[in-house]
């Protein structure tokens, strides 16, 4: 088998790459990654230099692949290793560049080893480590892999890191009220009160697919998102040009919930829609409105899942406020290899302790579930 490392997703045949990805993960599709690179949201200049790995047979057929980036910082990863970088710095060593396998700026668990054969997956990890050694990179990190990839990553000698997110699971609900019927009385009243308060402010909602979005609407949406990022002292990772391109190339995978008042857009949330799941990614509003964030980002998404038969809703990282709105903790993972044995050993000890903390945290937040005793989640 031949290993190639390519500096652009354009170096891969789109059909061959997408056949490995399948239909479940729009943010790993060739169109998505190429839009990110073409608009330079993902580039050496932004600290995300593409280093994608392809595994080929003797006839040049793509057998397996791994999205991979040479990183010069840790922004946009949602798995925090700043303390590791600081430890390297204190020792007079360089932590950056490092290699990261991820969907850029997207903390959604999905396949990282695009391989049907576990042996091919192991070879991809081996190739990433060999490349790191050859280039003098400090480490290799695989962020948010699927759970069934964990044994391959562990067997390849990587240290595993456990965390959690909050996801919503569709138990075959026919309506939103059916879903709320599984809540305790107090939590059910709270959710209904939040939805009522939004309606009482004269706010209405539109759902738009990527194919229904035009440049003017995207401009409004991006402005709303940018306003919200600026309040936090940052800017969106993805540009307006990226959103316009990816919605044109993956029109059925983009979903925008647009909140309007007096027929003017006041807030928006951007989701990715896949075979059985939706993924909440960006939110923005022009001002503060009572309960509007919960309605736009959570309740509208749950409504959509129920109406369209989506099995799972992943709204992004963090946010204990999601618990009272029906989202429950789900394990997430990352895998790490550091070239220097002394740091690799220390990180392993840290991850063992952190894992115990995460498990205690999950037990604690489950005690605040809004569901009635005995209800499935």
List, edge to edge, every strand of the sheet that includes 203-209. 48-50, 69-71, 98-101, 139-143, 328-338, 159-169, 312-314, 277-285, 264-273, 254-261, 203-209
Q: What percent of the chain has pLDDT over 90?
A: 94
Q: C-alpha distances in angstroms, 269 versus 142, 282, 289? A: 28, 5, 14
CB half-sphere exposure, 66, CA atoms < 13 A: 31
The pTM (predicted TM-score) of the whole model is: 0.96
pLDDT tens-place string over residues 67-108: 999 999 999 999 999 999 999 999 999 999 999 999 999 999
CA atoms within 13 A on the CB side of 327: 27
Averaged pLDDT, 11-40: 96
Structure tokens at 35: 């839009």
What mean pLDDT, rounded, does the chain reach?
A: 96
Cα separation, 56 vs 189, whole angstroms? 57
User: pLDDT per residue over 264-274, tens digit each?
Assistant: 999 999 999 99
Return phi, psi of residue 162, to 5°.
Answer: -105, 140
Q: Which domains does the chain have, with CATH numbers?
A: 2-164+330-366 (3.40.630.30), 171-310 (3.40.630.30)
Beta bridge partners of 285: 267
Secondary structure (3-state) at 176: helix
């Amino acid at each position: 088998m031949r290993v190639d490392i390519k500096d652009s997703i354009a170096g891969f045949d789109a059909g061959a790459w997408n056949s490995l990805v399948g239909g479940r993960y729009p943010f790993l599709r060739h169109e998505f990654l190429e839009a990110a690179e073409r608009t330079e949201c993902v580039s050496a200049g932004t600290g995300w230099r593409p280093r994608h790995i392809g595994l080929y047979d003797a006839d040049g057929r793509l057998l397996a692949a791994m999205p991979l980036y040479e990183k010069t910082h840790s922004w946009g990863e949602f798995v925090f290793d700043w303390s590791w970088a600081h430890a390297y710095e204190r020792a007079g060593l360089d932590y950056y560049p490092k290699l990261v396998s991820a969907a850029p700026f997207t903390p959604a668990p999905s396949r990282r080893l695009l391989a049907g054969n576990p042996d091919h997956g192991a070879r991809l990890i081996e190739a990433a480590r060999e490349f790191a050694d050859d280039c003098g990179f400090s480490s290799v990190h695989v962020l948010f892999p699927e759970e069934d990839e964990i044994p391959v990553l562990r067997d390849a000698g990587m240290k595993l890191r456990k965390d959690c997110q909050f996801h919503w699971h569709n138990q075959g609900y026919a309506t939103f009220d059916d879903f709320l019927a599984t809540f305790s009385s107090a939590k059910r009243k709270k959710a209904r009160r939040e939805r009522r308060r939004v309606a009482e402010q004269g706010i209405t909602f539109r759902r738009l697919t990527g194919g229904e979005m035009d440049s003017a609407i995207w401009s409004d949406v991006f402005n709303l998102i940018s306003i919200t990022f600026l309040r936090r002292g940052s800017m969106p990772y993805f540009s307006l040009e990226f959103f316009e391109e990816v919605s044109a190339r993956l029109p059925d995978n983009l979903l925008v919930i647009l909140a309007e008042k007096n027929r003017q857009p006041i807030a928006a949330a951007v989701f990715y829609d896949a075979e059985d799941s939706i993924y909440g990614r960006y939110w923005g509003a022009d001002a503060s409105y009572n309960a509007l964030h919960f309605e736009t980002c959570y309740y509208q998404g749950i409504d959509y899942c129920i109406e369209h038969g989506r099995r799972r809703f992943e709204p992004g990282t963090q946010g204990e406020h999601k618990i009272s709105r029906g989202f429950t903790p789900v394990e997430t993972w990352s895998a790490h290899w550091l070239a220097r044995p002394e740091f690799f050993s220390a990180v392993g000890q840290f991850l063992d302790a952190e894992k115990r903390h995460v498990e205690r945290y999950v037990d604690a937040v489950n005690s605040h579930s809004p569901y009635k005793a005995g209800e499935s989640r």
